[in-house]
């Protein structure tokens, strides 16, 4: 939002008019909650006092009102005052939608991640410095013929053939007909939740887990049951007993460099889990998007590689190696399942991006995928070591942690009792964006998910200093 600083019209008046226009044009309908004063000040690049003056004028006109503890909202009679019309109350529709909104803290994180002044210390995304801009530019510039139309329901056949070959290196024998191309791993989970599971089904998963921070399954009316974990991953002996207690049970697990804990499931534990799941007819969703991010040694084979009964749905992705924006992932499973999910996907988006699928094929063909994976591992290893060194130096008296052998994350346990919301807010005010543990487990109040994938080494050092100062201040 840009204001004319050369204009004779005061800045507060320009802000007022901008908000009036949003109300008049129907962008902010009755009941809409306005952004916070701080957010508005940041958006307009003005002092907070300018925003306060503009809001006071709008309040005096009867267009908005402040609610104690509930922010500032557009009044229900606003459109009547401005245009003599009776508006649709979109608020009732928004609240009635089946899909649950993100947690307020997640919404704030999603907004703050686009601020260039913020150091993203919890982001599960590769740094822009590590992305292959030039290689992709050359790839598209040199292509002779590129399909810009829709692909078949399961995805580009050539890409599925290449993936079939690629998966063999991990011991997964999957024909192209048992592979579905999806727009990232998150869409894979959405398709599974809508296409395979009933309302009221139960999802078993590690606790904490990334899935607690999103509402893919809860929005479809499913319940979560956390299964205890240890240093080797999810505890297998718990699964059979839990399955007997609940309806429509399926297991979701991230065995490689778990999000958020960074745990790597041992090979012995993988075999135990698969054996129990086969005996109990407990289907498994294996989310293996971090597999290629090993930093010390390659991980054990996937659960899917030892699955002899088609019990495992296997999810993978290119996003962690190429970029989050590529939005290409896959599901491997029995053909009836793949056909069912492909049909739903066609109803949702008529197939993943042809451009991204083309790029994925070429990168697998010309060896660039393996080259980029090696490059990413090298730089992530250095970044992990930098963050661990900083923690050793500045947090040895404030926290405990395990050094991950791969992935993006360090699961940091704070020693002093700290209010996670207060820590989050104070850190953000000082330009550091955190991912508190309560996003992944409500009881994980003393934890933080730290990422070494996005922030530069210099930013990590600055953020760790800020974080140490805040924790010492609020834990006195």
User: Is the bond into 208 cis (omega within 30 degrees of 0)?
Assistant: yes
Give dist(CA 289, CA 302) in Å, integer: 11
Quick check: helix, strand or coil at residue 181? strand
User: Which pLDDT score is estimated for 61?
Assistant: 86
Is the confidence at residue 56, as pLDDT, over 60? yes
pLDDT > 90 fraction of the chain, expressed in percent and rounded: 68
**What is the sign, positive or negative, of the torsion defined by CA atoms of 227, 184, 454, 384?**
positive
Least confident of 39-48, 227-236, 253-262, 287-296: 39-48
User: Which pLDDT score is estimated for 75?
Assistant: 85
Domain spanning 133-366, CATH class: alpha beta
pTM of the full predicted structure? 0.85
User: Which pLDDT score is estimated for 93?
Assistant: 72
Is the confidence at residue 188, as pLDDT, over 60? yes
Determine whether 65 is exposed, middle or buried from the number of CB atoms within 10 Å of its CB (0-12, 13-18, 19+): middle
Which residues of the chain are in CATH 3.90.1150.10 domains?
Answer: 112-130+371-474
* Contact of 273 with 238, CB cutoff 8 Å: no
Indicate the pLDDT class of residue 171, thresholds 50, 70 and 90: very high
Q: What is the pLDDT of residues 75-98, one digit of tens each?
A: 876 544 555 556 677 767 776 677
Higher pLDDT, 280 or 259: 259
Residue with tokens 């507060």: 12
**What is the sign, positive or negative, of the torsion defined by CA atoms of 447, 452, 456, 460?**
positive
Helix, strand, coil shares of the chain as percentages rounded to 5? 45, 15, 40
Is the confidence at residue 168, as pLDDT, over 80? yes
Specify the CATH number of the domain 11-97.
1.10.10.10
Indicate the pLDDT class of residue 464, thresholds 50, 70 and 90: very high
- Hey, what long-range contacts does 456-459 have (CB within 8 A, 24 or more apart)? 456/127, 456/129, 457/383, 457/386, 459/119, 459/121
From residue 38, how far is each of 3, 11, 47, 433, 446 by CA, in Å?
17, 16, 9, 16, 27
| Token couple for 283 | 């289907």
Q: How many other CB atoms sit within 10 Å of the CB of residue 51?
A: 26
User: Which pLDDT score is estimated for 424?
Assistant: 96
User: Which pLDDT score is estimated for 86?
Assistant: 64
Is the confidence at residue 333, as pLDDT, over 70? yes
User: Which pLDDT score is estimated for 103?
Assistant: 80
Give dist(CA 39, CA 45) in Å, integer: 10
Which residues of the chain are in CATH 1.10.10.10 domains?
Answer: 11-97
* Contact of 345 with 180, CB cutoff 8 Å: yes
From residue 101, how far is each of 95, 96, 111, 299, 347 by CA, in Å?
9, 11, 14, 35, 23
Give dist(CA 181, CA 329) in Å, integer: 6
Q: How many other CB atoms sit within 10 Å of the CB of residue 73?
A: 18
- Find which of 13-17, 243-247, 265-269, 354-358 is predicted with most confidence, using mean pLDDT: 265-269
Q: What is the pLDDT of residues 364-392, one digit of tens each?
A: 999 999 999 999 999 999 999 999 999 99
User: Is the bond into 76 cis (omega within 30 degrees of 0)?
Assistant: no
Residue with tokens 């205890």: 228
pLDDT > 70 fraction of the chain, expressed in percent and rounded: 95
Please choose, from the candidates 135, 114, 184, 137, the residue with its C-alpha nearest in 3D space to the C-alpha of residue 454.
Answer: 114
* Contact of 118 with 433, CB cutoff 8 Å: yes
Indicate the pLDDT class of residue 458, thresholds 50, 70 and 90: very high
User: Which pLDDT score is estimated for 84?
Assistant: 54
Domain spanning 112-130+371-474, CATH class: alpha beta
For the sheet containing 447-451, what is the strand order?
399-400, 409-414, 447-451, 435-436
The full DSSP string for 407-418 is SSEEEEEESS--
Give dist(CA 290, CA 143) in Å, integer: 30
- Find which of 2-16, 57-71, 79-93, 398-412 is predicted with most confidence, using mean pLDDT: 398-412
Determine whether 239 is exposed, middle or buried from the number of CB atoms within 10 Å of its CB (0-12, 13-18, 19+): buried
User: Which pLDDT score is estimated for 284?
Assistant: 97
* Contact of 456 with 386, CB cutoff 8 Å: no
Q: How many other CB atoms sit within 10 Å of the CB of residue 357?
A: 21
- Phi and psi for 449 in degrees, rounded to 5? -95, 110
Cα of first residue to Cα of last residue in the chain, in angstroms, is: 41
Give dist(CA 52, CA 58) in Å, integer: 10
Q: Compute the average pLDDT of residues 422-445.
A: 96
Mean pLDDT value across the chain? 91
Q: What is the pLDDT of residues 129-158, one digit of tens each?
A: 999 988 888 887 777 667 777 888 899 999
User: Which pLDDT score is estimated for 421?
Assistant: 95
Q: Compute the average pLDDT of residues 464-471.
A: 97
Beta strand residue intervals within 64-183, DSSP E: 64-67, 71-74, 119-120, 179-182
Give dist(CA 306, CA 284) in Å, integer: 13
């Amino acid at each position: 939002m840009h204001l004319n600083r050369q204009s004779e019209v005061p800045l507060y008046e320009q802000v007022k008019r901008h908000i009036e226009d949003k109300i008049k044009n129907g962008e902010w309908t009755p009941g809409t909650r306005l952004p916070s004063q701080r957010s508005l000040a940041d958006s307009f690049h003005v002092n907070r006092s300018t925003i306060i003056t503009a809001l006071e004028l709008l309040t005096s006109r009867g267009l908005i009102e402040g609610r104690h503890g509930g922010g500032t909202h557009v009044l229900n009679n606003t459109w009547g005052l401005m245009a003599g019309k009776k508006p649709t109350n979109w608020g009732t529709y928004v609240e009635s939608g089946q899909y649950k909104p993100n947690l307020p803290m997640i919404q704030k994180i999603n907004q703050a991640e686009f601020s260039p002044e913020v150091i993203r210390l919890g982001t599960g995304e590769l740094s822009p410095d590590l992305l292959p801009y030039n290689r992709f530019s050359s790839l598209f510039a040199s292509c002779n013929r590129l399909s810009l139309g829709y692909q078949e329901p399961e995805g580009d056949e050539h890409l599925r053939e290449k993936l079939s070959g690629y998966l063999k290196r991990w011991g997964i024998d999957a024909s192209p007909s048992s592979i579905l191309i999806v727009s990232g791993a998150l869409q894979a989970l959405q398709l599974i939740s809508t296409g395979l599971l009933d309302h009221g089904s139960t999802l078993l998963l590690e606790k904490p887990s990334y899935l607690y921070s999103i509402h893919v399954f809860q929005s479809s009316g499913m319940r979560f049951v956390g299964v205890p974990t240890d240093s080797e991953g999810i505890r297998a002996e718990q699964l059979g007993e839990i399955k007997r207690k609940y309806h429509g049970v399926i297991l979701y697990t991230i065995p490689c460099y778990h999000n958020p804990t960074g745990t790597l499931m041992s090979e012995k534990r993988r075999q135990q889990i698969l054996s129990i799941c086969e005996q109990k007819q407990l289907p498994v969703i294996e989310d293996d998007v971090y597999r290629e991010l090993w930093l010390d040694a390659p991980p054990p084979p996937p659960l899917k590689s030892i699955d002899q009964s088609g019990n495992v749905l296997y999810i993978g992705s290119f996003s962690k190696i190429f970029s989050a924006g590529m939005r290409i992932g896959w599901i491997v499973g029995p053909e009836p399942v793949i056909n069912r999910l492909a049909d739903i996907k066609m109803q949702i988006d008529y197939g993943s991006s042809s451009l991204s699928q083309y790029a994925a094929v070429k990168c697998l063909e010309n060896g660039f995928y393996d080259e980029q994976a090696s490059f990413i591992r090298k730089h992530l290893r250095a970044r992990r070591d930098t963050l661990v060194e900083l923690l050793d130096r500045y947090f040895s008296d404030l926290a405990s942690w395990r050094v991950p052998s791969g992935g993006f994350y360090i699961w940091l346990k704070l020693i002093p009792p700290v209010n996670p919301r207060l820590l989050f807010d104070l850190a953000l005010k000082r330009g550091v964006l955190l991912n508190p543990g309560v996003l992944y487990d409500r009881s994980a109040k003393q934890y933080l998910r730290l990422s070494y994938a996005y922030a530069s080494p210099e930013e990590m050092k600055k953020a760790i200093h800020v974080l140490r100062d805040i924790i010492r201040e609020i834990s006195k």
